[in-house]
Amino acid sequence: MQGAMLTIWGRTTSSNVQKVLWTCEELALPFERIDAGREFGKLNEDWYGAMNPNRLVPTVRDGELILWESNTITRYLANRYGGETLYPAEPGARSRVERWMDWQLSTLMPAIGPVFWALIRPQPGGPDAAALQALVARLAQVWTLLDRELAGRPYAAGDRLSLADIAMGNSIRRWYAFAIERPDLPHLAAWYDRLAERPGFQQHLMGPVV
């Protein structure tokens, strides 16, 4: 079922916006995107806060419905617009997708975030060399867990691309773009190569890491 064209507020370099844009590409959903966040402003304006009380991106409007929180948005889009291949209806298969989406929020993001900020957006008083090395090592441990899981399947939740992979797409893109030494994780590297073949990944995630 096709509704009105989606409106998406958010800058293209945001990891959370990228999840939504890639999902739209996989579902062949037309959308209008409006720059918001960082240099584009808007987040502190009253009209934006009325839509999204967190004042973050992305925010999505589908008809009269306003959505925020990127993983929730991707689940909604898959449910609403025939995305069962990305987000299966069968409870067991769906749970395998959702646990990796939860893992992305609870485990991967806390590990990759400090490395991103230290390398890409360093702040005064940020981690010294030894502290950064410890952060990179911790992130490598997190990716090693996923590498072991990917030894038995091509995608995070099974045999096909799902919302779980989309949720982690920006993070794996950053991992291979960071100027750091990385352990040899062959299953993770092969997964990244598979994701990078997707047109939506190429269009929305392969820009500069900023």
172 plus 119 within the same structural domain: yes
What is the value of pTM for the model shown?
A: 0.95
pLDDT at 158: 98
107 plus 190 within the same structural domain: yes
3-state secondary structure of 6: strand
Categorize the per-residue pLDDT at 3 as very low, low, confident or very high, splitting at 50, 70 and 90. low
Residue type, 71: N
186 plus 110 within the same structural domain: yes
Per residue in 129-139, pLDDT (tens digit) is 999 999 999 99
61 is in which domain, residue-wise?
6-80
Asked if the structure places residue 210 within a domain, the reply is no
Facing residues of 84 across strands?
none
Categorize the per-residue pLDDT at 125 as very low, low, confident or very high, splitting at 50, 70 and 90. confident
**What is the average pLDDT score of the chain?**
96
Residues 68, 60: contact at Cβ < 8 Å?
yes
Within the chain, residue ranges assigned H as helices are: 15-26, 46-51, 70-80, 91-103, 109-119, 129-150, 163-177, 186-196, 199-205
Asked if the structure places residue 195 within a domain, the reply is yes
Rounded CA-CA distance 132/120 in Å is 12
Q: Is the pLDDT of residue 1 over 80?
A: no
Asked if the structure places residue 58 within a domain, the reply is yes
22 plus 121 within the same structural domain: no
Asked if the structure places residue 53 within a domain, the reply is yes
C-alpha closest to that of 108 among 150, 83, 142: 142
> Sign (positive/negative) of CA torsion 101, 74, 72, 82?
negative
Q: Is the pLDDT of residue 207 over 60?
A: yes
Residue for token digits 């370099």?
13
Per residue in 35-61, pLDDT (tens digit) is 999 999 999 999 999 999 999 999 999
